[in-house]
Structure 1
Amino acid sequence: MKKALTVLAVLVASACLFLSCGNKTKADNSLEDLKARGVFVIGLDDAFPPMGYRDSNNEIVGYDIDLAKEVARRLGVEFKAQPINWDSKELELKTGNIDCIWNGFTITEERKSALNMTKPYLNNAQVVVVRNDSKFNTLADMKGASIGLQQGSSAEEAVNSNKEFKDSLAKILPFEQNLMALQDLNINGVDGVVMDIVVAEYTIKNSGFPFHTLKEALVPEEYGIGFRKGDDKLTAEVEKILEEMAADGTVAKISEKWFGTDISVIGK
C-alpha cells in the first residue's frame, strides 16, 4: 500500500510539473535579440512604388524604406531590405528570415489575429485603375470586365470581400506584381487593375501610363507593420520610435519627399 501511494505521489508531482511547465509563456527577447544581431531586416515586395522599389541604379528606395532606415538608426542597428515573394510573406516572417513585413502592408482582422500589427501609419484604399480611353466610370460599369491584381495582396482580399463586384466580373487574373498587371492593362490585356490608391496615383504620375483611378473605392484601408506574434517588445519599440519621429518632424519630412505633403497618420 505504501509503495502504491508513493508511486501515486510521484505521478501527481510529475503531472503538476508538466502542467506548470506547459503553462509557462515563452520569454519575449525580440528586442534584445535584434540588438544582439545588430541588423533590422524588413521584408518587402521590391516593385511597390513609392513604398519600396528599385530605382534606376537598382537600389531599393521608397517611403517605407526611408522610415525603416531611420528606425534602424535609432535602434542602433544596421538596416537591411529583404525582397520576398509577397504571396509567402507570413512564412518568411514565421521562419525568421525577416524581422517584420513593412511595405504598404494593410491591416486586416485576419492579420491582426496571426501577427503583431502596429498602429496605422498611413491611410490607403483599394481602387480600380482603368485606361483613360475606357468606358468605365463606376464599379457597376465594370460588369463583364476582366481585372488584374497582385496575388496574395489586400487587393485580392478586397475583391473577395465584395461579392457583388466579384460576381459581376468576367475574369480575375492574378499577377506576381502590380507593375505586371498595369503593363497588361496598358496593352488591353485586362480592363482594369485593383490596387492600392497610394501606389496607383504615384505610378500613374511618374510612369506616363494613360490611366486614372475610379473615384469609387472598393474599401478603405490602413497600412501597418507586421511582426511575429509574441514579439511585443520589438513591436512596441518600433511604434515608440515612429511616434518620436512624428513628433520631431522626421516623418513629415520623409512624407513630403515622396508625396509632396505630410499624409502620415502617426500620432494624429
Structure 2
Amino acid sequence: MTPNRIRRASAVAALGLVSVLGLAACGSSDSGDGAEPGASNSSGVSTIEAGKLKVCTHLPYKPFQFKEGSEVVGFDVELMDLVAKKLGLEQEIVDISFDQITSGAVFAAKKCDAAAAGTTITDERAKALTFSEPYFDATQALITKKGSGFTDLASLKGKKVGVQTDTTGQQYAEENKAANGYTVVVFDDLATEMAGVLAGRVDAAINDNGVVNDYVKDNPSTEVVTEFDTGEQYGLMFPKTGSEKLVETANEVLKASKEDGSYNEIYKKWFGVDAPK
C-alpha cells in the first residue's frame, strides 16, 4: 500500500496553501501523457507542467485524502501543499488506481510528479518507486459491526473478511487466512470495503488503523475490535530515477514541519490528537 474542500483557518491556511483537484483516470487524454516537462524552477526541480506539482492519489482514503464537495482535502494533501509551497508551485491532484501508483506506472506514463496515498513503505514497492523519509506510523486494524461478537481473526473462522486491493491489509489477510479459516473478499477501494461491512457482505474488514478508526467516528454502528502490530510507516512517492532533488526537498519539508510545529497542527486537525513524539 498501504496508500484529501474548504480550507480552515489553520497554520497551513495561513501559509496560503492551495490544492486544485484534477481528476484523471488511466488513459485519460488530460492525464499528462506526453506533456512537455515544465521549466525547472529556482530550486532546480523540473515538473510535468510548469507552475504545478502533480500529485497522484487514490480516492477516497479519509482522512488522508478524500473529496469534500468538489475539493480534495486531507492529511496527505496538506503535507504535499507544504512541499508545493516550498517549490513555489501549486498542487494538482490526480485520482488514479492504487496499483498504478505503487507499481510506478503513473510515473512512467508521466501522469504525476509525486504521489501521496497513505502508502506503506515496503521493499517490493521500493523497487519501482523512490520513497521519502517516513512521515506516518500505521498498523493494520480489524473493523466489524458493533456487537458482532468477532474479536480477532480466529473468531472469523468460516466467515468473510474484506480487504482493499493491492494494500498491505490485503497482504496481511492473505498471510493469515489459512491459519484462521476465513475467506478473503477483495474490494477496489476503501469506500466499497467499508460499505461491505455495513451491508453485511463481509463479516469484518482489515485496513490501516488511521482510516478505519476515522470511519468508526462517522459510523457508530461499527467498531474496531483489534489492531495488529505490523509496524508500518508511510512514505511520499516519487519516480525511481530523476527525482533526487524533489525527494530531497520533500524530506527537508517533512523535517522542518516537525520542527516548526506545522506537522503537529496538520496531524491534530485530521486525527484530533497531537502527533506522536
TM-score bin, normalised by smaller chain:
0.7 to 0.9
Give 5+ residue unaligned stretches, structure 2.
1-39
**Corresponding residue for 1:229?**
240
CA deviation profile, 1:98-129 (whole Å, cap 9, x unmatched): 11220101111111222111111010011111
% of aligned pairs identical?
A: 25
> Hey, what's the Cα distance between the residues in 2 that align with 1:70 and 1:225?
13
> Hey, what's the Cα distance between the residues in 2 that align with 1:86 and 1:147?
20
**TM-score of the pair, normalised by structure 2:** 0.78
Structure 2 residue aligned with 1:81, among 69, 93, 102? 93
- How many pairs were matched up? 233
> 1:225 corresponds to which letter in structure 2?
L
> 1:38 corresponds to which letter in structure 2?
G
**Corresponding residue for 1:137?**
151
Task: Note the C-alpha offset of 1:209.
Answer: 4.1
Structure 1 residue aligned with 2:71, among 53, 56, 59? 59
**Corresponding residue for 2:51?**
38
**Corresponding residue for 2:228?**
217
> 1:41 corresponds to which letter in structure 2?
K
In the TM superposition, structure 1's runs of 4+ consecutive aligned residues that sit over 6 Å from their partners are none
> 1:123 corresponds to which letter in structure 2?
D
SS in 2 for 1:129: strand
> Hey, what's the Cα distance between the residues in 1 that align with 2:204 and 2:111?
34
Task: Note the C-alpha offset of 1:73.
Answer: 0.9
The alignment status of 1:109 with 2:123, answered yes or no, reads: yes
Q: Alpha carbons of 1:152 and 1:49: their partners in 2 closer, same or farther (altered >3 Å)?
A: same
| Bigger fraction of residues in helix | 1
> Hey, what's the Cα distance between the residues in 2 that align with 1:219 and 1:242?
23
Q: Alpha carbons of 1:192 and 1:102: their partners in 2 closer, same or farther (altered >3 Å)?
A: same
**Corresponding residue for 1:238?**
250
> Hey, what's the Cα distance between the residues in 2 that align with 1:32 and 1:178?
33
Structure 1 residue aligned with 2:136, among 112, 122, 126? 122
**Corresponding residue for 2:63?**
50
CA deviation profile, 1:21-77 (whole Å, cap 9, x unmatched): xxxxxxxx895312982211111112110000011x231110111111121011111
Decide whether the 8 Å contact of 2:144 with 2:225 is kept in 1.
yes
Decide whether the 8 Å contact of 2:139 with 2:227 is kept in 1.
no
The alignment status of 1:186 with 2:198, answered yes or no, reads: yes
**Corresponding residue for 1:98?**
112
> Hey, what's the Cα distance between the residues in 1 that align with 2:257 and 2:227?
33
